[in-house]
Chain A
Amino acid sequence: NAGVTQTPKFQVLKTGQSMTLQCAQDMNHEYMSWYRQDPGMGLRLIHYSVGAGITDQGEVPNGYNVSRSTTEDFPLRLLSAAPSQTSVYFCASTRGGSNYGYTFGSGTRLTVV
């Protein structure tokens, strides 16, 4: 049981490049989310999904796209990378019902130069 798997672990991009951060979970969780973590600012929600085919924006969605074609996968796309998107990105998932905390992946550290 792998939990939430994120790839890659590290990435360096040039300004203007695009890329996709991968996230997969094997727990059959309905809810999946993407957060970014910056020093002193806590985790901020980028996009989330409540099930396959359903996505919505979080607190800081600009510059990012998501899709959810299957229950397991929830990729995050950076359309045109900017230095302000330098951050650590976490994918998380949880099952329905409020008794369960989110399970987080180990993160992707992204640097945009």
Chain B
Amino acid sequence: EDQVTQSPEALRLQEGESSSLNCSYTVSGLRGLFWYRQDPGKGPEFLFTLYSAGEEKEKERLKATLTKKESFLHITAPKPEDSATYLCAVQGGNSGSARQLTFGSGTQLTVLP
């Protein structure tokens, strides 16, 4: 059974204070690790897909990295508009043709001005 654990559950940062969010996973044959951003009252918004250990992807102030056991979402010099819940999900080899995702419970990020 695929499992995803995200930490911390909540994180408060001052504007400009860089930090990282963690996503630990166990999966049978990783097909992809996904990061999403979710704003209150809205659906998750796709950010990145990572496929293999050592891979990195960047988008504005966000950088996602992947190892064989975990992924990090690094936030550099965050702004208040980066405040959101960040979700991590994995697609394992047992998801078959359905390409289904197993989600973590998320990290709620608050960036204070």
Contacts and interface: CB of A to CB of B under 8 A. Distances in A.
Interface residues of B, number: 26
Given A48-B98, A98-B31, A98-B32, A90 B49 contact: no
Interface string B28-48: 000110101000011111110
A104 B99 contact: no
Interface residues of A, number: 27
Given A98-B31, A101-B34, A106 B43 contact: yes
Given A50-B97, A50-B98, A106 B87 contact: no
Which among A35, A43, A50, A58 has the highest number of chain B CB atoms within 10 Å?
A: A43
B44 to A, nearest CB: 5
A42 B43 contact: no
Contacts of A104: 36, 43-45
A107 B39 CA distance: 12
Contacts of B87: 42-43
A58 B46 contact: no
A102 interface: yes
Contacts of B101: 43, 45, 102
Contacts of A106: 41-43
Interface in B80-111: 87, 89, 91, 97-101, 103-106
Nearest to B97: A50
Which among A35, A50, A101, A105 has the highest number of chain B CB atoms within 10 Å?
A: A101
A100 B97 CA distance: 14
B62 interface: no
Interface string A32-59: 0101000011111100101000001010
Contacts of B105: 40-42
Which among B36, B44, B51, B89 has the highest number of chain A CB atoms within 10 Å?
A: B44
Interface of B: 4, 31-32, 34, 36, 41-47, 49, 51, 87, 89, 91, 97-101, 103-106
What 3 A-B pairs are tightest by C-beta distance, nearest first?
A104-B43, A101-B46, A42-B103
